[in-house]
Chain A
Amino acid sequence: MNITLKIWRQKNAKAKGQFVEYPLSDVSPEMSFLEMLDALNNKLVKEGTDPVAFDNDCREGICGMCSLYINGRAHGQETRTTTCELHMRVFKDGETISIEPWRSKAFPVVKDLIVDRNAFDKIIQAGGFISVNTGSASDSNSIPVSKAKADDAFDSASCIGCGACVATCKNSSAMLFVSAKVSQLANFPQGQVEAAKRAKNMVAKMDELGFGNCTNTGACEVECPKGISIKNIAKLNREYLSAKLSD
């Protein structure tokens, strides 16, 4: 396959960026998308040009480090797929592929396609935990949890923190991310104790960090590589409003 890549290049956070086009030949349809970028970088380094900086690590769709807005879609056109799991077989020979970083005020560009997603950590630090010190837990089976609730919690907990929800939301809202954590922990009896405080603190932090407001377009749930449902957002709204109303 021969393709043309239209990639956002930006030297650092302060620099002005622009798109640069790179033709790339001999692309195998079996390559993953990131392996294709590896091939491009290999070529660029050999030519003495700065390679394209992009975040990636596990390359099996679980660490959440990879990002990229590919042809107008977060993590590319396949559903329930991270960029690292995307393969070149879904692209056409001769295609021009545009690659941009996540765009959000809360995720500033660091270099080229790398953005700073530290805002997500700050939200978790604000309350995305159950306060239990090491060694103080009682036997796991002393608190039964219904299978339905546990499965539900698992579905919410499968968030990988990649930021595709924010990237794809027309408002750069982080509601899917925040709601997934709030609903996961609210599903457990041990998470109930701090549920009200958690919802309030995490939402307050989210608002403070410059994310937009959710307008329920549902785009996040479609683009989420782990298929996290917006029913979590309804649950967060419920948790938050009841917490606030009982203040």
Chain B
Amino acid sequence: MSNLFSSSIGKKLIMSVTGLFLVLFLLLHLSINLLLIFSEEAFNEASHFMATNPVIYVMQYILAAGFIIHITWASMLTLQNRAARPVKYSNNDPAENSTWSSRNMYVLGSLILIFLFIHIFNFFYKIKFSEVENDYELVTGTFRIWYFSLIYILGFVFLGLHLNHAFHSAFQTIGWSNKIWMKRLKIIGTIYAIVISIGFAIIPLFFLIPELF
């Protein structure tokens, strides 16, 4: 194990493991959020459970740590990667060999981070530190304001693009990939990214659209 995490592959392993953890978290998060559409009561109950359950209480610190590590290591790797090419190409045509999102994971990640701050302030912070009587009202009320919905939908687009590369990339990094699995993982990753981004985006749209007409 010596020096594993100071090696390039070790650092990427950290990105991969934290990333996969966040991938699982997003699934859980989405399934709770979808309750918004179906039942106010169920959502409030789930929300209350999440806020009070001791296991979840511990988990939220682990989750925070997951985010922080993922972001810190991404920053470290990005700085190293930039230093590896001190003189840039004056004419470069990378669109011919790779996808935009795969080349801009840090940019996408940064945009998602901004979104995350807004999101935390809007809901998590308010629910946690101020007296919110009805979580459902808070969320749906926010989504009925068009610019908040827009911010959320944009955030989910960035998230979808990020995940589309992230998913198979995480498996590639831990070595669970070969010629056949690479293709499968790419397809699963794309489906996952679409489910997450559209799944989340449906919710603000669900509340916003009736407001518009």
Contact = CB atoms under 8 A, between A and B. Distances in A.
Q: Do any CB atoms of chain A lie under 8 A from CB atoms of chain B in the complex? A: yes
Nearest to A77: B96
Interface in A162-210: 168, 170-173, 203-204, 206-207, 210
Given A170-B103, A213-B12, A234 B94 contact: no
B162 interface: no
Contact of B175 (A6, A203, A223, A241): A241
B13 A241 contact: yes
A231 B184 CA distance: 13
B70 interface: no
A213 B81 contact: yes
Contacts of A240: 7, 9
A237 interface: yes
B91 A241 contact: no
B88 interface: yes
Given A72-B89, A105-B84, A217-B102, A170 B179 contact: no
A103 interface: yes
Contact of A234 (B84, B89, B96, B176): B176
A233 interface: yes
A38 to B, nearest CB: 23
B55 interface: no
B84 A219 contact: no
A106 B172 contact: no
Contact of A247 (B1, B89, B96): B1
Contacts of B77: 213, 215
B176 A203 contact: no
Interface string A81-107: 000000000000000001010011110
A72 B90 CA distance: 8
Nearest to A104: B85
Given A219-B94, A219-B97, A211 B84 contact: yes
Among B2, B8, B168, residue most surrounded by chain A Cβ atoms (within 10 Å):
B8
Contacts of A100: 89-91
B182 interface: yes
Contacts of B12: 213-214, 237
Contacts of B94: 72, 168, 170, 219
Contacts of B174: 237-238, 241
B52 interface: no
B199 interface: no
B83 interface: yes
B178 A235 contact: yes
Interface in A208-247: 210-219, 222-223, 229-231, 233-242, 244-245, 247
Contact of A218 (B86, B102, B178, B179): B102
A230 B178 CA distance: 8
Given A231-B179, A234-B182, A237-B174, A244 B10 contact: yes
B1 A244 contact: yes
A203 B102 contact: no
A129 interface: no
A208 to B, nearest CB: 10
A247 B7 CA distance: 14
Contact of B81 (A6, A171, A223): A171
B53 interface: no
B2 A207 contact: no
B89 A103 contact: yes
A19 interface: yes
A224 to B, nearest CB: 10
Contacts of B92: 69, 72
A213 B11 contact: yes
Nearest to A17: B87
Interface string B92-109: 111011110011010000
9 contacts: A72-B96, A77-B96, A173-B8, A203-B9, A207-B7, A217-B98, A219-B98, A219-B103, A230-B182
Given A171-B81, A240-B9, 7 more contacts: A100-B90, A104-B84, A214-B173, A218-B97, A233-B172, A241-B4, A247-B2
User: Nearest 8 CB-CB pairs, A to B?
Assistant: A238-B175, A72-B93, A212-B84, A171-B81, A234-B177, A222-B97, A172-B84, A237-B175
